[in-house]
Structures are given as C-alpha cells and as structure tokens.
Chains A and B, each alone.
Chain A
Amino acid sequence: MHVRFWGTRGSLPVALTWRDVRDRLARALVAANGRGLDTVEKAQAFAERELGFSVSHTFGGHSSCVELVPPGAALDEYFACDMGSGARPFGAHVAARQAGRAATVNIFMSHMHWDHIMGFPFFGPAYTRGNLIRIHGCHEGLERALRRQQEPPSFPVPFAALGAEIEFVRLVPGEAYELPPVTVTPQLQDHSGDSYGYRFECEGKSVVYTTDSEHKLEDHGARRRIVEFFRGADLVIFDAMYSLAEAVSVKADWGHSSNVVGVELCQMAQAKKLALFHHEPANDDAAIERILSETRRLEELTRGAQRLEVIAAYDGLEIEL
C-alpha cells in the first residue's frame, strides 16, 4: 500500500512567511560557504543530505487530505481521507494522471469540521463530467455540510453545478466494508460532533487514519477499543496536535490528542509505524521537528519487544508499506 500526504496541518492551513524563507535561505547559505556548490544539482544534493529538515523542507500548511494507493486498485480509481485544503493539489494530481479519462474517487470523511471539508469546492475532479465521486462517512449531515459550504455568500459555484456524479455512502461504525481491493472499517472517535477513524486493509497491509480524536486517559474501555482498532497496523496516522500537558489541562475536551498518547497506544497495539499528523498551526517547522525528535526519544525510552518507527507527516510525503 502506498500513502501520499496532501495535507497534514490541523485546524487551519498555514504558509511560510517571507521572513521564514529569508531566514532558512540565510542559514543554508552560511552552511554552504566554501563547499563549491557550483551547480543546482550539487546544491540540491547538499540540501538533501546536510541541511536539517526545517531548513531544507517544510511540513507544509494544507489541512487534512491523505491518499491511499492500494495495490491492485483499478488505474482510474482513487481512495482518500478527508477533503481539507490538501484536496486541491490531490485533485490536480488526479486530473493530470487521468489526462481526460473518467475517474472514480472514494473519499472517507472523518467529520465535517471546516478544515476537513474546505478543499472540496477546489477539488478539480468534482467539476469534470464523467467522473464519479463517492463520499463515504458515518455522519447523517455529511451531504448537507458539503452542500452548505457552496451556498451563497460562502462560494460562487453551487454544489448542484458540479459536473461529476456525486454519491454519498453512509457507513456504520464497526462494520467492515469491501471496496475491492480494500476493506475499510470506520470507528467512532471522541470529538465535538463525533468523528470517525478508518482502518484500511489490503493484501496483508493495514493503515489506520485517526485524526480529530481525543483519548480520555481514565477510560480503560475506550483505550482497549482503540488499541484493538490499531492492532498490528503497518501505519497509524495519528492526531498529535497538542502536547500531553495541553491535552489534559487547558485544552481538555477540545477533541485532540498528543504525541505521547500516540506512542503509548501504538506500542500497546504493536503497530509498526506512527505518523504524527494534524500539526498545530502555531507550530513552525523547527517546533514540529523538535516534537518528532522528542517523540522518537520517548519511543526509545519506553520500547518493549518491538520497535515503533515514528515519523512526522508532511505535505508531499509518500510512504510505501
């Protein structure tokens, strides 16, 4: 299974400012001093190898959108979670790859908060006649939420004017659905207005997409259910928006989780890889890089029989499982 992250930021899209760009250019130039980087290729290789992630890259700023590419899927069929602002580049990718051929896009919605639906009006394939967009979710009001954000005065193009055929598919939490070649199971999560995580399985590989989910540490039953949902997953894409201190104090009941709880749940479930996701918009690249490094250290300190690989998702990251 291949995974592409089109949007990884929580709550609100963010962008680098001119100061951010100037400062990282300045740091790169100082680091490159005397290195004889007289071609673009040499400079790119230097940036890739020797500059830290927060100088040479960015975690990016699009809100949630993650594409899954299961082996054996039809060439014209796509699978994705959420339609945050990352849906715009995802749509451009679909359109470029299809080159005029009709596509079927399966979208699995965690919930309808704005940062998870705001990309849909900019999702190009929804405007193309002949395409089929299947929007899967467990919420009763899903269709209404997507239609409403395209009503005046919020957006100039009404939902009814979309060229593609749009189908809404209501799922029941806990039930496994076969969408060959994928089996997908939704699970209820603790979030304002409810949210749903999804476990995708295909040819022996499994990916859990679990964002906008708070974990009440005193609720042992809920923890056991989540651990079973994560059990043995090859990748868990996890809402790690806050520090644990924030999540249990000033931001308790805000519906999000932490890197610390992500490590603990994945270790209990013997998951193989944890991707920190839904990054706090107030955190810059250096802050996210620091959180990643600390999370890896925590995993090392608390490791049992099995190592858990920890990464921080970023816009443009691709993972092959």
Chain B
Amino acid sequence: MRITERTYAGTLVLSPAGRLDHNSCDAFEAALKPLVERASAGHSLVLDLSALDYVSSAGLRLLMLAGKQARAQGGRVMIAAMQPLVAEIFYISRFTMLFEIHPGVREALTAASPESAAAFDQR
C-alpha cells in the first residue's frame, strides 16, 4: 500500500492510497510506523484520506494506533478529506469520536498552524 508523505511548516501530511483492509494492514502498519515516529514533537500529523477507497476494522485500528503514537509524542492528530464511503464507515464505527476530522487538507493545516496553511498555499 502506497503512502505519500509531505511536510508543511512542520506539519506532517500522510496520504495512504487504495484499500486498507485485512490483506493490506500489515504492510500499511510497517510503512506507517516509522513515518509517524518522524512527526516532530509538538507538531501536528494530518492523515489525508482523499485517496483511501476503503478501510476495514483492522485498518481503523491502525489509524487509531498511529494517532495514539503521535499524541504520545506530543503531536496533534487530524483526519482530512475522507471519501464519502470511508466517512460513513468512520461514523458507523464511531471513529468520529476518536479523531479531529476536517473536510480537506487545507482546513486541517489551518487548524494546525497558520504557517502550515501558508506553506500549503505556496506549493
């Protein structure tokens, strides 16, 4: 499973693509862990789900663990740009209670810091 990584003024944006299910979750976990470890202390992590087509319970658990890890490092974790199907799965599983959710990446970066939003606008 592919994960694209970008940083905007200290805010790390991770963008997984494809289906995050029982078959892909081990590879996703192996790829995600070192990326989350690199999230700077005190900075935010944005999980951009715009290219994620589907997420299963096992995938949701991994997102929860990534959020937990980033928070333990002193960071803030946000979910952004979910496709409608993934957004419904988030709601039905009550993962909306576990994460700060934004409609788009820019909105999440604005919540992270004005500098991150400005860096995003200057891409």
- Interface of A with B (CB < 8 Å)? 217-218, 220, 223, 243-246, 248-249, 258-261, 264, 294-295, 297-298, 301-302
Inside 8 A of A298's CB, which chain B residues have their CB? 88-89, 92
B 83-123 to A, binary, CB cutoff 8 A, 1 in contact else 0: 00100110111110110000000000000000000000000
Interface size for B (C-beta < 8 A) is: 19
Q: Are A220 and B22 in contact (CB under 8 A)?
A: yes
Known contacts A249-B98, A260-B93, A295-B92; is A301 also within 8 Å of B85 by CB? yes
> Of all chain A residues, which has the CB nearest B97?
A245
Known contacts A223-B22, A301-B89; is A217 also within 8 Å of B95 by CB? no
Within 8 A of A (CB), among B37-78: 54, 56-58, 60-61, 64
Known contacts A220-B22, A245-B98, A248-B61; is A297 also within 8 Å of B92 by CB? yes
Closest Cβ of chain A to B52, distance in Å, is 14
Inside 8 A of B58's CB, which chain A residues have their CB? 217-218
Docked Cα-Cα span, A220 to B21, in Å, equals 12
A-B contact pairs, 24 of them (CB 8 A): A243-B93, A243-B94, A244-B57, A244-B93, A244-B94, A244-B95, A245-B64, A245-B94, A245-B95, A245-B98, A248-B60, A249-B64, A258-B57, A258-B93, A259-B92, A260-B89, A264-B57, A297-B88, A298-B88, A298-B89, A301-B85, A301-B88, A301-B89, A302-B54
Docked Cα-Cα span, A92 to B64, in Å, equals 47
Inside 8 A of B95's CB, which chain A residues have their CB? 244-245
Inside 8 A of B85's CB, which chain A residues have their CB? 301
Q: Are B94 and A246 in contact (CB under 8 A)?
A: yes
